[in-house]
Amino acid sequence: MLTLEGVGKRYPTGDRALSDIDLALPKGQVMALIGPSGAGKSTLIRCVNRLVEPSQGHIRLDGDELTTLSGAGLRRARRSMGMIFQEYALVDRLTVMENVLSGRLGYVGFWRSFFRRYPEQDVREAFRLLERVGLDHALDKRADALSGGQRQRVGIARALLQSPRLLLVDEPTASLDPKTSRQIMRLIRELCAERGLAAIINIHDVALARQFADRIVGLNAGRIVFDGAPSELTSDILTTIYGEEEWDTRVGPEEPAEERSAPPRAFDVALSGAVR
């Protein structure tokens, strides 16, 4: 169980990205976090794994306070949270298998990973996961030879190889076409059910959130303005979340979001737990 209590974030620039966030995410629950660009969705999930330092409040995972962790404790906590990114954050020149195995970097130690010598058990599990996500035929392909949907499948397998207790997913479908987006959301959904994993999925696309999440939380200007079941998401509530004009455009295919925060890179993956 993940709990956030009174969480706030003000960036050094003065931007207040989150205010008074209270949230409890039970084991196994798939939660979609929706809201307009700049609402604070990325900041929220980044506070949970401390890629961003919250300014106020408490964040606990199975009772452990995350906000005060440092050093080995923080690395251990990050390993228990798998991140999946919009831009996949794969290493292009590495193979599918190598990219997935990098999910074990947090466990195998620097020198072993430097020489890419992973324990056989990790390789077997990576293979099983690649089979599960439908990429066992492409183990030796370079990441840059894959389609967007395949790249996201690699990102999903890599996150799962960490054996996380929680998935943090930031706009997983924003670079994909509508059909591939549904396939990827369905896959994440099924994997959470199979493994009893909870997930926070930041997503612009309201229709996808409705179809695949157990619960929807709406953010506007850093505050939770809705928290309920997909069936409770009326057009009035969507107007509260997105404002008068915006929400109906979100039901259709994704528009490019204007993001002020930097897009995730392989470096973020390293920070998010794949670093020893």
Contact call for residue 267 and ligand ADP (CB under 6 A): no
For Mg ion, which is the closer residue by CB, 43 or 80? 43
Q: How far apart are CA 99 and CA 214, in angstroms?
A: 30
By CB under 6 A, the residues from 8 to 47 that bind ligand ADP are 11, 13, 15, 17, 35, 37-43
Q: Which value, in Å, is the radius of gyration of the alpha carbons in the chain?
A: 18
- Identity of residue 242: Y
For ligand ADP, which is the closer residue by CB, 42 or 272? 42
Q: How far apart are CA 222 and CA 41, in angstroms?
A: 8
Three-state DSSP at 194 gives helix
Contact call for residue 250 and ligand ADP (CB under 6 A): no
For Mg ion, which is the closer residue by CB, 40 or 273? 40
Q: Are 2 and 61 in contact (CB under 8 A)?
A: yes
Q: How many residues bind Mg ion (CB under 5 A)?
A: 2
Contact call for residue 203 and ligand ADP (CB under 6 A): no
Q: Are 167 and 199 in contact (CB under 8 A)?
A: yes
Nearest residue to 4 (alpha-carbon basis) of 160, 179, 190, 198: 198
For ligand ADP, which is the closer residue by CB, 45 or 130? 45
For ligand ADP, which is the closer residue by CB, 47 or 192? 47
Figure out which of the listed residues 116, 117, 260, 265 binds ligand ADP, where binding follows CB under 6 A.
Answer: 260
Q: How far apart are CA 178 and CA 168, in angstroms?
A: 21
- Is 168 buried (19+), middle (13-18) or exposed (0-12) by CB count in 10 A? buried
Nearest residue to 18 (alpha-carbon basis) of 48, 259, 30, 31: 48
Q: How far apart are CA 33 and CA 35, in angstroms?
A: 7
Q: Which of ligand ADP, Mg ion, none lies near 43, with the C-beta cut-off 5 to 8 A by kind?
A: ligand ADP
Query: Which residue in the shown chain puts its C-beta closest to Mg ion?
Result: 42
Half-sphere exposure of 2 (CA within 13 A, CB side): 28
Q: Which of ligand ADP, Mg ion, none lies near 199, with the C-beta cut-off 5 to 8 A by kind?
A: none
Contact call for residue 220 and Mg ion (CB under 5 A): no
Q: Which of ligand ADP, Mg ion, none lies near 35, with the C-beta cut-off 5 to 8 A by kind?
A: ligand ADP
Q: How far apart are CA 174 and CA 253, in angstroms?
A: 9
Figure out which of the listed residues 110, 261, 265, 267 binds ligand ADP, where binding follows CB under 6 A.
Answer: 261
For ligand ADP, which is the closer residue by CB, 17 or 157? 17
Contact call for residue 42 and Mg ion (CB under 5 A): yes
Q: Which residues bind ligand ADP (CB under 6 A)?
A: 11, 13, 15, 17, 35, 37-43, 259-261
